[in-house]
Every structure is written in C-alpha cells, then in structure tokens.
Structure 1
Amino acid sequence: MSALLPIRVVLFYLLLAFTAFAWCLISLVFAPFLSFRKRYRFVVQTWCRSAIWLAKTVVGLRYEVSGQENIPQKPCVILSKHQSTWETFFLSAYFEPLSQVLKRELLYVPFFGWAIMLLKPIAIDRENPKAALRQVAKQGQERLDQGAWVLIFPEGTRVPVGQTGKFSRSGASLAVNAKLPVLPIAHNAGVYWPKSGWGKKPGTIKVVIGPPMHAESEGPRAVAELNQRAEDWVNAQVRQLESTADM
C-alpha cells in the first residue's frame, strides 16, 4: 500500500479534477433552473460526496463522526477547525443547504468559481477586514433567514497540525445578533491531508460535533465570551484527536 500511495494520490487528484470540471459544466446548465435547496443538493452535495468517496476509495481516507445528536434542528452558525481541504468537502456535504464564508478570489476561477456563485456564498475581501465583517454580518443574517447553515472557519485559513490560529469574532457576532447558537466542530483531518503539498496518508479522520453554544447575554462582551468558549472547546478537542491519531 505504501509503495503505491504516491500513484494513488496522483490518481485521486486526476479524478477529482475531472469530476470537478465535468460537474461544474453540468451544474452551469441545469442549476440556474432549480430552487436554492435543490441547487445546493445537485451542485454541492453530489460532488462533495463524490470527492469524499474518492478520497476513501483511492487514498484510504476514512472518517468517523461523533456528536450528531448535538446538531440543532434549526440551522445556525458553524465554527469549524480548518486544517485541510477535506473538511470543506465533508461539511459542505453533511449540512444542507450551507453558505460558506470564503475568499472572493475563488469566484474568479473558471467554471469552478462560476458554479460557486450559484450557491450564495459569502465571498469576502480579506484585504479589507472591516468591510468583510460587515458583509458577514449582513449576508450571514440573510442566509440564516433563508434557512441555510453558515459555515465559518474562524481561524481564517488552514492551520497546520499542532498549531492554532486566533478565532475571528465574526461567527460569534453573527450568532449573537441572530439569537442563534454556534455549533463548534473539531477534527484531525490535517494529520492525513496536510495543509501543504500533495501528500496524503491513509487513516481514519475523526470529526467531533460539539454541543450548541448560546451567548449568555448580549453585546460585544457576550460575543467575546462566546467566541472564546468555542475556541477553547475546539482547540481542546483537536489536541485530544491529534494525540490519539495514527501519526
């Protein structure tokens, strides 16, 4: 298995690129005529599930999820650890419909970016943090009102295994203003799908969905407290998952 792994990784990326290109073309033709929920299922869930399946079948990246009982019936703000690309695929397939906060540059990618635009993402300009915060607040509230989950990676970028990034308060602020909880999610995907390079490692990615966290009051202090509580929980869970992973 180890000798063939580089070949399997190359095969995985070739198949992933082919399916992405083909599905984006199909989506651009049919998705505009579908409702937002059906469009999400058709465009995102179908392809993201195929990406997760390819990772499992070709590379040997399995996964286990715990804490499903913590998922509230009403969509809220998801705050997830960000270590790799895998969790982007997984969470987009697991929760639907979902609107993700992402960097605006992704919308400029031919075909892929055009398909993303159909899915009501919150595409921010990272070079203008203040405007980005206002955009997350405004469009995030709109997405929640439309019955969509809002996925935020509060560290802002992928963080290598063993390291942590400071949580942005944008997700907690959105939740407090919407009077909704945040749903913290921890995982150890970076152990098997690192941030840098093309390398992959077979194994079982563990995902932990935490209990919904509600603000204890209102205002900036409530936002800071909720954000810190979510950050502490996610970091503690990630440390535990990384310590027990097959390194």
Structure 2
Amino acid sequence: MSSAVGSATTRAVTRSMATTFSVLRTTVFYLSLAVWTVFWAMLMILFIYPFRFNLRHRIFVKTWAVVSVYLCRLICGIRWRVTGAENIPDSPCVIISNHQSTWETFFLQTLLTPQTQVIKQELLKIPFFGWAFQKIRPIAINRKDARQALQQVREQGKAALAHNVWVLIFPEGTRAPPGEPGKFSRGGAGLAKAAAVDILPIAHNAGVFWPNSSWIKRPGTIQVEIGPVIKTESLSVAEVNDTTRDWITRALQTMQ
C-alpha cells in the first residue's frame, strides 16, 4: 500500500516539475520572440523601402520567420519534418494549408518565397508586428464582409500571382484543433480558378505541439506534408475545394 502511494506521489511530483519547466520555457520563448519581433520590425520599417517586393520577403520576412521557428525549436523543443518537398512546382501558385496554430504561419514563410498571405485586418493593428506586416502588402480582409473579402482575395491574389508571388490561404479561416480540418471556404479555390493556376496542398499537425487551447508549448516533431499539385483547369471551384480538403483530411489522418 505504502509503495503504491509512494509511486503515485513520485508521478505527481514529476508531472508538476514537467509542467513548471514547460511554463518556464514557454515564457522564455515568448519573451525572446517579442524582443526579436520588435527589433526586426523596426529594421523593416526603417530600411525596407529601397527593396522590391520579392527582396522584401526574402530579406525581411523569411529572415524573421526562420529565426522565430528556430527560437521555438531551441527553447521549446518543437522540431519539424517535411515530406513531399519534391512536389513544389517551379512556378508560384495558390498554397492551401490547414490551420491549427501560429507555428505554420511562421514556418510556411520559410518554405516558399516570395509569398503573400490572406490575413484578417486586425493583425495589422498589432504594434510593431502589424506595422511591419503592412510593408509586405498582405491580403488583409474584413471577415465580417464575406462578399468583399472574396473579391479582395481574387483581385489582390491574381495581381500577386501575376508577379510570380505565392499566395498562402488558410481556408478554415480560424485555427482548428488537431484532427479533421474544419469547413473550407472557397476563396482559395476561386482564386486558383480565376488566375488559372494550380493548388499546392499542405497538411501539418502543429496543433499537437502548439495547441490553440493552451499557451504552453509541447516538445516534439511537427509533421509537414506537401501534396501533389492539384490541377484546376478541368474542375469547378467546388470540385477544386473538395479535392483539396479531401487530400488534407487524408494526410492528417496518417499523422494521428
């Protein structure tokens, strides 16, 4: 009896120490990320103007994102493994990914460049981060006006693609827990059809280690799978959307 009680007490103490350590390193990570973001945002705001858009993304955004994900790896122990990189086409197209955390918004900036992404307007109001974000011309939409947002995605997305810039879209619109993705809006599929380009689907399980329900980060290896390009020419917008979501759903099922 006393042995069982002792074992239970030991497990409880171990869990408590692990939780304390996780809280500590998550706090250190966020402080480090904040300092890095303010520093780099100030550099962007001051020195970004002479650079063309493509160089702006490569020099400023990609550098910021690379340092951010490596801070997360160094401090929180969150690593990643990418499969399917051979599926990335030579010409930019529409990237559609599931959305589980903030991590993928950092990491996907390091994977494909130059890039713009569809974001909610509120992000541009964040001090330093938002001010710098404005300099790379994201497609900032008002999610309360779905009709206007759809038109904005198509117009600005087509313009970006015409200048050989990748367009990243999270069609769920908000972060979903690990598992099957949420409902996909047709904005990404509609843009691909309007611009006559294909779709590069990407699936990941970042939410397992960077959960949306908690600010504490968990060490582990995020799986990122890049799928074969989805040809859009012979498909309707609805078929493109369903095909993309089906592939991401199947990919996620193998990551559980």
Q: TM-score range by the shorter chain?
A: over 0.9
Q: Which residue is equivalent to 2:198?
A: 181
Structure 2 Cα separation of the partners of residues 223 and 111 of structure 1: 37
Q: Which residue is equivalent to 2:57?
A: 40
Deviation at 1:216, TM superposition (A): 4.7
SS of residue paired to 1:194:
coil
Whether the 8 Å CA contact 1:83–1:194 is kept in 2: the answer is yes
Moved more, 190-199 or 132-141: 190-199
Match for 1:131 among 144, 148, 161?
Answer: 148
Q: Which residue is equivalent to 1:147?
A: 164
Deviation at 1:163, TM superposition (A): 4.6
Matched, 1:75 2:89: no
Q: Which residue is equivalent to 2:252?
A: 238
Match for 1:193 among 192, 210, 215?
Answer: 210
TM-score, normalised to structure 2, is 0.91
Identity %: 49
Rg bigger for which structure? 2
Whether the 8 Å CA contact 1:31–1:42 is kept in 2: the answer is no
Q: Which residue is equivalent to 2:174?
A: 157
Q: RMSD value over aligned CA atoms?
A: 1.2
Q: Structure 1: 5+ residue runs without aligned partners?
A: none
> 4+ residue stretches of structure 1 with deviation over 4 A?
none
Structure 1 Cα separation of the partners of residues 125 and 221 of structure 2: 34
Matched, 1:227 2:241: yes
- For 2:89, the aligned partner's letter is P
Structure 2 Cα separation of the partners of residues 166 and 4 of structure 1: 36
TM-score, normalised to structure 1, is 0.94
After superposition, residues 2-151 of structure 1 pair within 5 angstroms as 2=18, 3-151=20-168
